[in-house]
Structure 1
Amino acid sequence: MRDQEPAAGPAERRLTTKEAAELLGVKSETVYAYVSRGQLSSRRVPGGRGSTFDVKEVEALARRNRRESAGSSASGSELSVRTRITLIEADRYYFRGVDATRMATRYSYEEVAEWLWTGRLRPGVEFAAPDASVAVARRAVDALPEHAGPTDRLRVAAIAAATADPLRFDLSEDAVLGTARTLIPTLVTALPPARRGHRDTGPLADRLWARLSGRDPDEASLRALDTALALLVDHDLAASTLAVRVAASARAHAYAAVSAGLGVLEGPLHGAASGLAHRLLLDVLDQGDAAPVIADELRAGRRIPGLGHRLYPGEDPRARILFGLLEDIPKAAPALAAARDIVTVTARHTPLHANVDLALAVLTASAGMPATAGETIFAVARTAGWIAHALEEYGERPLRMRPSGHYVGPKPPQPLPE
């Protein structure tokens, strides 16, 4: 907003355009861009062509700009958060400094989760759910309509389990770890079983398989599922993980923090990716050729699911490990061949590597699981990572995850609307 006013009095110090630009660290043209966007006001110099600016207003804008710059990463306007949990670099990723793929192939999901939480290994650890927690979670999940999705069920189970835990507001490390070790098996056990005769004891992967497939698993299939869980346990600050940290920063208890992660996971750009890859894979298996299926996807303007990853210019290490394990499962051979066909055909258009969503799709499709199974696997696995990030955030200053808004609306005061 620019107005014509009398010259400033002797006590009122105003800045020239050059001085304002120097204080803001921008070019003179940018100063006038701030004026046009309503972020600064200016006054014409009487009898001249230049403008002057209020010192306090320019200083306030400079402070806002510095805060935004401090909250941005060097890679380009992304929030940066200190963490000791997961590092991703050069097509590899690490849990507390240890190669994550090596951990996932050597240790069980529960053992990897313990390492992520504490930095200590507990060989042979298995998570058990209290009967009271399971009972209330099952009742809540059973009350949902049949068309409810897996994330709906898991989120309802988490909320119901919280109501059965009077100590949920204790945010000490020991208390949160106790919650983590019971919440994850509660989420799994609350899901409706896919086959009869299952047991709710033993490794978590065994219990989860009974919720996802009506087939009896062989050892290689259970190993692939357990490794998939361990591979997916954390992946730095994905959107759902950031939501968990924001909740934990506000000192929400662990159940609420996990519920926040599940809410974000339900978005089509995050948790649903494996389901899209699963359906694509079934279409290729049905037609016996990836070419017409890929052509239909591209013709509709859709991105091919299961290919490429913004954090891995080369190969997704999680997909590489999981595909290797699937090679040992004879029933997975047709789905593996279809996945390779998808990669080969798409490479004619854009050379992209398969990501973990396509590998999950091979696992779920070959095991007779529904298209939503990958989303369930992802959510259960990532719950352990969310707990690790919540624990880390509880040790930080409360409410530090509170960025300042960058207001770009009309400069106040504006008249009341009529």
Structure 2
Amino acid sequence: MTHSVFAPGLESVTVAETELSRVDGQSGELVVVGYPIEELAANATYEESVSLLFEGRLPTAEELSEFSERLAGRRSIGPEVRDVLRRSAAEDRDAMDALRAGMAAADLGADVSGDRAQATRVVAVAPTVVATYWRYRAGEEPLAPDPELGHAANYLYMLTGERPDEETVRGLETYLNTVVDHGLNASTFTARTIVSTESDLVSAATGAVGALKGPLHGGAPGPVLDMLRAVQESGDPEGYVRERLDAGERLMGFGHRVYRVRDPRAAVLSTAARRYFEAAGETAFFETAERLESVALDALEDHTDRRLATNVEYYTAALLHGIGIPRDLLTATFAVSRVGGWMAHCLEQLADNRLVRPTAEHVGPSPRSWTPLDER
């Protein structure tokens, strides 16, 4: 009989080999296909990051142009999908519920024969689904994707109806690159598990959206933004932190399941946020975030034996708020990025597939004898 290891949550259990990203929680490093996240996030377009994940190398100018055209050509959704999103908006459903429904129908009316075509379609359509839902919720008609705009710029355009400026696009682009892949997290593991059954990539993406919706995975930027807004309004970060800790509450945006030091993505997004707010000439919100971070870290060091450092969600909230992403779309915008990593992992899984089939340790009752109903 094969030896089994009991590890709740599969912590420290290696279940796959990957060439896509390396996460070092002790030293605080994230490397994506050989590139430190600091370099990739600040320099790449989102299309370059996804091509890198799909192909294992940076694309040439010609390859990038062709890949970008394929993505742009697969952004549109049909009336059946719009009907679902309209209904989701009318019922005030969560954006992740709408994305899950839209993602499940992503292959309707689309030529997605083959795994690579499905992967490209899923990446391309995610921003359209989110933006269409949001326009309906705002009481406005959705906008068709603009093939002349890049992936990040087109998402902003479909949300607002205005072509974004360069600094806003760069801010979103940096965010999308920063969170595009991060090892075998819960949603990525879900996607790989689904395709390991030889199911399709649309199903894998739909399941991954469901996993990302959970507040323990992708749902914290909203509460971080609430915290930042409250502190900006009060002007008293010390009082806010003291009150929360004395009440036994968590400070959102601090601590991570993997990192024992500052999340490297927090540093990338802090730099991006500073650049954006300074370019916009409105630094007050960012300065509030920096001040609160310093106060919170000092307080947490005195309050707990655990090392709780700043995580990716802290400056995600600050940056996305600055560039105009609504609070209710923060997690959905996370998905707009991470779908590229999901699809790359699915392709990697299928290239050398083995069905994911862990075991469970039985802790239920010992064997029993059946008791007829009239004798119970």
Which residue of 2 is the match for residue 254 of structure 1?
201
Aligned match of 1:33: none
TM-fit CA distance, 1:183: 3.3
For residue 119 of structure 1, the aligned residue among 47, 56, 59 is 56
Distance across 2 between alignment mates of 1:246 and 1:222 = 34
* 1:241 correspondence with 2:197: no
Deviation at 1:377, TM superposition (A): 1.7
Is it true that 1:341 corresponds to 2:276 in the alignment? no
- RMSD in angstroms over aligned alpha carbons? 2.9
Sort the Cα spacing of 1:148 and 1:210 in 2 relative to 1 into closer, same or farther, 3 A. farther
Q: C-alpha deviations, 1:70-97, integer Å up to 9, x for none? A: x999x96535322111101221111122
Q: 1:131 to 1:95 in 2, by over 3 A?
A: closer
Contact preservation (8 Å) 1:151, 1:266: yes
Uncovered stretches (5+) of structure 1, i.e. residues with no partner:
1-62
Within the candidate set 332, 337, 341, 1:381 is matched to 337
Aligned-partner Cα distance in 1 for 2:269–2:11: 32
Partners of 1:249 and 1:397 within 8 A in 2? yes
Matched, 1:313 2:260: yes
Query: Contact between 1:184 and 1:384, CA under 8 Å: does it hold in 2?
Result: no
Q: Is the 8 A contact 2:103 2:129 kept in 1?
A: yes
Q: Residues 398, 197 of structure 1: CA spacing in aligned structure 2 closer, same or farther, 3 A cutoff?
A: closer
Q: Which amino acid counterpart does residue 201 of structure 2 have in structure 1?
A: A
Query: Which residue of structure 2 lines up, in the alignment, with residue 394 of structure 1?
Result: 350
Residue 216 of structure 1 deviates from its aligned partner by: 6.8
Give me the whole-angstrom Cα distance separating, in 1, the residues matched to 2:335 and 2:16: 22
Percent sequence identity is 28
Q: CA separation in 2, counterparts of 1:411 and 1:222?
A: 61
2:84 to 112, 136, 140: 140
Q: After superposition, what is the alpha-carbon deviation per residue over 1:249-278, rounded to whole angstroms, capped at 9, x for unaligned?
A: 112211110000100111111111111111
Partner of 1:98: 35
TM-score by length of 1: 0.75
2:129 aligns to what?
Answer: 187
CA 1:135–1:111: 2 relative to 1, 3 Å: farther
TM-fit CA distance, 1:110: 1.2
Per mean C-alpha deviation after superposition, the further-off stretch among 347-356 and 373-382 is: 347-356
The correspondence for 1:81, drawn from 7, 11, 16, is 16
1:155 aligned residue (88, 96, 100): 100
Q: Which runs of 5+ in 2 are unaligned?
A: 302-307
Kindly indicate whether the alpha-carbon contact (under 8 Å) linking 1:141 and 1:190 is maintained by their aligned counterparts in 2.
yes
Q: Secondary structure at the match of 1:192?
A: helix
AA partner of residue 20 (structure 2): I
Q: Measure the CA separation in 2 of the matches of 1:246 and 1:345.
A: 41
What's the secondary structure of 1:133's corresponding residue? coil
* Number of aligned residue pairs: 349
Query: In 2 relative to 1, CA 104–199 (structure 1 residues): closer, same or farther, beyond 3 Å?
Result: farther
In structure 1, the residue corresponding to 2:4 is in which secondary structure? helix
Matched with 1:291 is 238
SS state at 1:93 partner: strand
TM-score normalised over the length of structure 2: 0.83
Contact 1:220 1:325 in 2 (8 A): no
SS in 1 for 2:23: strand
| C-alpha distance after superposition, 1:111-150 (max 9, x if no partner) | 1011101113243443225476344322221121352122
CA-CA distance at 1:397 after TM superposition: 3.2
Whichever of the two has the greater Rg, that structure is 1
